[in-house]
Amino acid sequence: MAFNSVVLIKQVPDTKNITGQAMLDDGTVNRAALPAIFNPEDRNALEAALSLRDRCGGTVTVLTMGPPSACNILRDSLFRGADRVILLTDLRAAASDTLATSYILSLAVSQLPDVHLIFCGRQAIDGDTAQVGPQLAEKLNLPQVTYVEELIEASDSTLTLRRNLGDGYEVVKAPLPLLMTIVGTANTPRPPAARRMLKYKRARGKTELLKEAADKFGKDATDEIETYVQQRSEDLSAKGLLIEQWDLDTVKADVTRCGRSGSATKVHRIQSVILTGTEHKRVEPTAQAIGDLVHELIEDHTIG
Ligand SMILES: Cc1cc2nc3c(=O)[nH]c(=O)nc-3n(C[C@H](O)[C@H](O)[C@H](O)COP(=O)(O)OP(=O)(O)OC[C@H]3O[C@@H](n4cnc5c(N)ncnc54)[C@H](O)[C@@H]3O)c2cc1C
């Protein structure tokens, strides 16, 4: 059986190379100060989908919700073998927490035909919540298998998977359609293929073409910009090089459930925590001692 897979990928700040103030005062990421990269475990998710397609046939569609610059990770996905890539970008989705993000992604995935499998990375290295995959499965009313390290067997109606639980493994059989989150130890992502890089390095999304035109004619030359973008879009589309660009209207989203208004979580502050040897204390395995610890963690906003 051939499988139609959707892979959800995220462009994230390279938290290992912070060059300026990481967070803005409003609790959102200062993306200008942080080089943007392909979320590492999303590359493993893409590799898992591509190798299943190599084994069984089918298609691999890659979808990301993010700023126009996320076209870079979509081009990277095309270089590695994706069949179709979609950018969902809309300023009204900015600052979405996982609730809003999974809502928007659920609408987008629901617009794709005959989806058998959804691949997510286990976790994004910026929000670090590992919540979007499971939340998305809930919203799509799909079974989910998280921490997948190996696709053992595929049949017309089920997948047999091995999960890495950290201190052991679990083998599960799950019905299709299915959502999986893939861990970083699942595989070694294939490198970009030179032949595909030559072809797809010229792939562009609409917002990139608008910027190209504004740089060429000046941002006030509206007629020239419109004509230029129209012609370039037709030309790229004819060559299979136009990156599909969707927004909240394309997926018919209720905008009150998106962005800040749709987000229950507000990121208060982030800071780099470097633990030194002295900063630990022994907690006796008693209900009282553990109760005191939880109370202390709530007090200093570590939890709750
Ligand atoms: C420092 C920090 C702390 C945060 N804390 C919270 C919090 O506690 N609760 C909360 O609700 N939000 C939080 N957020 C916001 C959260 O980062 C965003 O909502 C984000 O879009 C999704 O959450 P995540 O980064 O944790 O992704 P995860 O849930 O870790 O992502 C798991 C997988 O989901 C898929 N995915 C995630 N985002 C996208 C996307 N935009 N497009 C396509 N696929 C995607 C990818 O496959 C990814 O590997 C935080 C953000 C920051 C920067």
Ligand 1 neighbourhood includes 13 CB (under 6 angstroms):
no
SS (H, E, C) 80-130: HCCCEEEEECCHHHCCCCHHHHHHHHHHHHHCCCCCCEEEEECCCCCCCCC
80 inside domain: yes
273 inside domain: no
293 inside domain: no
Q: How many domains does the chain have?
A: 2
34 inside domain: yes
Per-residue pLDDT in tens (0 to 9) along the chain, 304 residues: 899 999 999 999 887 665 556 666 665 666 666 789 999 999 999 999 999 999 999 999 999 999 999 999 999 999 999 999 999 999 999 989 999 999 999 999 999 999 999 999 999 998 889 999 999 999 999 999 999 999 999 999 999 999 999 989 999 999 999 999 999 999 999 999 999 999 999 999 999 999 999 999 999 999 999 999 999 999 999 999 999 999 999 999 999 999 999 999 877 766 666 666 666 788 999 999 999 999 988 888 777 6
Q: In terms of domains, do 23 and 155 share one?
A: yes
Prior bond of 175 cis (ω within 30°)? no
Give the residue, by CA position, lying nearest to ligand 1 atom 1.
127
102 inside domain: yes
285 inside domain: no
Model pLDDT, residue 20: 59
265 inside domain: no
Global pTM?
A: 0.89
Q: In terms of domains, do 228 and 130 share one?
A: no
Q: In terms of domains, do 199 and 225 share one?
A: no
Tell me phi and psi for residue 93, to 5 degrees: -100, -5
Atom of ligand 1 nearest to the CA of 132: 29
Q: In terms of domains, do 74 and 98 share one?
A: yes
Give the residue, by CA position, lying nearest to ligand 1 atom 38.
10
Q: In terms of domains, do 38 and 63 share one?
A: yes
Q: In terms of domains, do 223 and 115 share one?
A: no
Q: In terms of domains, do 225 and 106 share one?
A: no
Model pLDDT, residue 192: 97
Q: In terms of domains, do 164 and 181 share one?
A: yes
Ligand 1 neighbourhood includes 11 CB (under 6 angstroms):
no
Rounded CA gap, 67 and 70, in Å?
6
Q: Which domain holds residue 253?
A: 3-203+240-257
Ligand 1 neighbourhood includes 133 CB (under 6 angstroms):
yes
DSSP letter for each residue of the chain: --EEEEEE--EEE-TTS--S--B-TTSSB-GGGS-EEE-HHHHHHHHHHHHHHHHH-EEEEEEEES-GGGHHHHHHHHHHT-SEEEEE--GGGTT--HHHHHHHHHHHHHTSSS--EEEEES--TTT----HHHHHHHHTT--EEEEEEEEEEE-SSEEEEEEE-SSSEEEEEEESSEEEEE-TTS--PPPPPHHHHHHHTT-EEHHHHHHHHHHHH-TT-HHHHHHHHHHHHHHHHHTT-EEEEE-TTTTT--GGGSTTTT-S------------TTS-----SSHHHHHHHHHHHHHTTS--
Residue 168: which CATH number?
3.40.50.620
231 inside domain: yes
Ligand 1 neighbourhood includes 29 CB (under 6 angstroms):
yes
Atom of ligand 1 nearest to the CA of 121: 49
Give the residue, by CA position, lying nearest to ligand 1 atom 5.
127
Residue 248 alpha carbon to ligand 1 centre in Å: 18
Q: In terms of domains, do 110 and 219 share one?
A: no
Ligand 1 neighbourhood includes 64 CB (under 6 angstroms):
yes
Q: In terms of domains, do 189 and 229 share one?
A: no
Residue 265 alpha carbon to ligand 1 centre in Å: 11
Q: In terms of domains, do 161 and 15 share one?
A: yes
Q: In terms of domains, do 212 and 156 share one?
A: no
